[in-house]
Amino acid sequence: MTEEIAWFETLGKNDTARAGGKGANLGELTVGGLPVPRGFVITATAYLQAMEQAGIRGQLRDDSLAAATGEPAALQAKAEALAKQVCTVGVPRPLAELIGEAYRALSGENAPARVAVRSSATAEDAAGTSFAGMHKTFTNVAGLEAVLDAVVNCWASVFGARVLSYRASQLMTEEPAIAVVVQLMVDAERSGVAFTADPSTNDTSRTMIEGAFGLGEVVVSGAVEPDTHIVARDGSRVIETHVGLKSFKIVRGGDGADLRVELSAEEAGSRVLSDAEVVEVSELARRVEALYGGVPQDIEWAFSDGRLYLLQARPITTLGPPAATSPTAGTAREGGEATVLVSGLGAAPGVVTGRVRVLSTPSQGGQLEDGDVLVAPTTNPDWVPTMRRAAAVVTETGGMTCHAAIVKQGAASAMHRRRATSHDTVARRRSRHRRRPTGRGLRGRPDDHCVAYGPCQRTRGDYHPRCPDDRGNGDASLCEPGLPRPG
Contact 131/121 with Cβ under 8 angstroms? yes
Give Cα separations from 264 to 217, 223, 243, 249, 337 (angstroms). Answer: 19, 16, 15, 11, 41
Contact 382/404 with Cβ under 8 angstroms? no
The residues near 452 (Cβ < 8 Å, ≥ 6 apart) are 356, 426, 427, 428, 429, 462, 463, 464, 465
Report DSSP letters for 456-482, one per residue: -GGGTTBEE-----TTS-S-GGGSPTT
DSSP label of 381: G
Task: Show the CA angle centred on residue 383, arms to residues 79 and 47, nearest 5°.
Answer: 40
At 185, the amino acid letter reads: M
Helix (H, G, I), strand (E, B) or coil at 284: helix
Task: State the Cα torsion 454-455-456-462 to the nearest 10°.
Answer: 120
Question: Is residue 403 annotated as a catalytic residue, yes or no?
Answer: yes
Judging by beta carbons within 10 Å of its beta carbon (0-12, 13-18, 19+), is residue 327 exposed, middle or buried?
A: middle
DSSP label of 56: -
Query: Measured between alpha carbons, how far is 334 from 472 in angstroms, rounded to an integer?
Result: 38
Q: Alpha helix (H) ranges present in 109-158?
A: 144-156
Report the chain's C-alpha Rg in angstroms: 23
135, 229, 242, 403: the catalytic one is 403
Query: Measured between alpha carbons, how far is 73 from 196 in angstroms, rounded to an integer?
Result: 39
Helix (H, G, I), strand (E, B) or coil at 111: coil
Where would I find the beta strands (DSSP E) of 171-296?
A: 178-184, 190-195, 206-213, 227-232, 238-242, 248-252, 258-262
Q: Residue 407's CB: how many other CB atoms inside 10 A? A: 24
Judging by beta carbons within 10 Å of its beta carbon (0-12, 13-18, 19+), is residue 195 exposed, middle or buried?
A: buried
Terminus-to-terminus CA distance in the chain, angstroms?
Answer: 66
| Catalytic residue set | 403
